[in-house]
Amino acid sequence: MGSGDVRYREVTTKSALTRVQGMPFAWSLNPYRGCSHACTYCYARDYHARMGRDTGAGFDREIEVKINFADVLRTELRGLRLRELVALGTGTDPYQPCEGRYRLTRRSLEALVESPLPLTVITKGTLVVRDIDLYMKLSRVVDVRICVSIGSVDTAIARGAEPDAPPPRARLEAVRRMRAAGLHAGVLAAPILPDLTDSEASLDAVAAAARAHDASFFAIRPLKLDPGVKPHYFAYLEDRFPTLLPLAEARFTGRVNPERQYVDTLEARASRVQRKYGFVEDRYEKLRDAQREAPAQLRLAI
Ligand code: SF4
């Protein structure tokens, strides 16, 4: 998985904005399908599984480029009445290497500057700094939150688990540059890998680096392993950390999320390091927490 030639297929799309349910954002935007960063744990591999597509090389070596994406988006934005939150990069990295050539993300941002919607972005791509000018324009009229995904600052772990993504150090530098431009940019430590990057020392190292690079926020997400993702993540463990494989298999047998008790322990660790480095929960994380609680509240209301 990862490394080796990547093939690009130019396709046209009928829609750009995808309606999303049960998330803190109302729409998602994904100008590419697949991602050449090739993270072994990438949840978007499961989207390919659900479409009957290959979840290995079919996901990370064969990228679909939706060449008319920004034009379609521009038209759709003009027809919107509600200014709801849109998320860029939920099923692909909008700043994977081919964005340098195709500029679909940049052109989508230009469309958003013309018809602004509040925006949240998630990326591991350092190319994000190229678009600082557009994020600054958009930030003047709507909320913009840029999450740079860094689950660990251990370069060996990052190189194995995220073989073709820029190294954590370069991602941190991107955070620093965006902050220097006055943007709301921070670190999303995601996903946290059980028994590998979930210790308090590991979370502390990421939070300390986030603070040192002036990140606006530090948040975490536990690992989720959908059926289409498991074989790829388990193959990575078998190759690099074989003693951890049985633990992971046991933890995720018959389930996609770790047990609640594990997640609570992880979140308590994250809260301690957040406090230590002076990070406070931002509006997006509060919204996300509220969303997560919503079904329970609904049940109580009934
Ligand atoms: S960068 Fe994001 S979208 Fe790309 S492979 Fe990694 S987790 Fe998936």
Give per-residue pLDDT as tens, 225-284: 999 999 999 999 999 999 999 999 999 999 999 999 999 999 999 999 999 999 987 777
Find, among 300, 36, 28, the residue nearest to 166 by Cα: 36
Q: What pLDDT sits at residue 143?
A: 96
Indicate the class that CATH gives domain 7-293: alpha beta
The CA distance from 155 to 206, in Å, is: 12
Q: State which ligand 1 atom lies nearest to the alpha carbon of 41.
A: 7
Say yes or no: CB of residue 131 within 6 Å of ligand 1.
no
Looking at the chain, the whole-number percentage of residues with pLDDT higher than 70 is 95
How far is Cα of residue 1 from the mean position of the Cα atoms in its chain?
19
Say yes or no: CB of residue 42 within 6 Å of ligand 1.
yes
Q: What pLDDT sits at residue 44?
A: 96
CA atoms within 13 A on the CB side of 253: 6
Q: Decide if pLDDT at 197 tops 60.
A: yes
Q: Decide if pLDDT at 299 tops 50.
A: no
Q: What pLDDT sits at residue 3?
A: 65
The CA distance from 159 to 162, in Å, is: 5
Which among 29, 93, 99, 152 is the best mutation to test ligand 1's pocket, defined by most ligand atoms within 8 Å of the CB? 93
Residue-range domain boundaries for the chain:
7-293
Residue with tokens 């430590």: 189
For residue 191, cis peptide bond before it (omega within 30 degrees of 0):
yes
Query: Ligand 1: which residue has its CA nearest to atom 3?
Result: 92
Q: What pLDDT sits at residue 286?
A: 74
Q: Decide if pLDDT at 52 tops 60.
A: yes
Q: What pLDDT sits at residue 297?
A: 43
Q: Which residues of 10-45 are buried (b: 16+ CB within 10 A; e: fewer)?
A: eeebeebbeebeeebbbbbbbbbbbbbbbbbbbbbb
The CA distance from 27 to 17, in Å, is: 6
How far is Cα of residue 163 from the mean position of the Cα atoms in its chain?
16
Amino acid residing at 204: D
Which among 124, 147, 150 is the best mutation to test ligand 1's pocket, defined by most ligand atoms within 8 Å of the CB? 124
9-24 pLDDT, tens per residue?
A: 999 999 999 999 989 9
**Separation of 74 CA from ligand 1 center, angstroms?**
25
Which among 35, 55, 224 is the best mutation to test ligand 1's pocket, defined by most ligand atoms within 8 Å of the CB? 35
Residue 106, both tokens: 């940049």
Say yes or no: CB of residue 165 within 6 Å of ligand 1.
yes
Say yes or no: CB of residue 92 within 6 Å of ligand 1.
yes
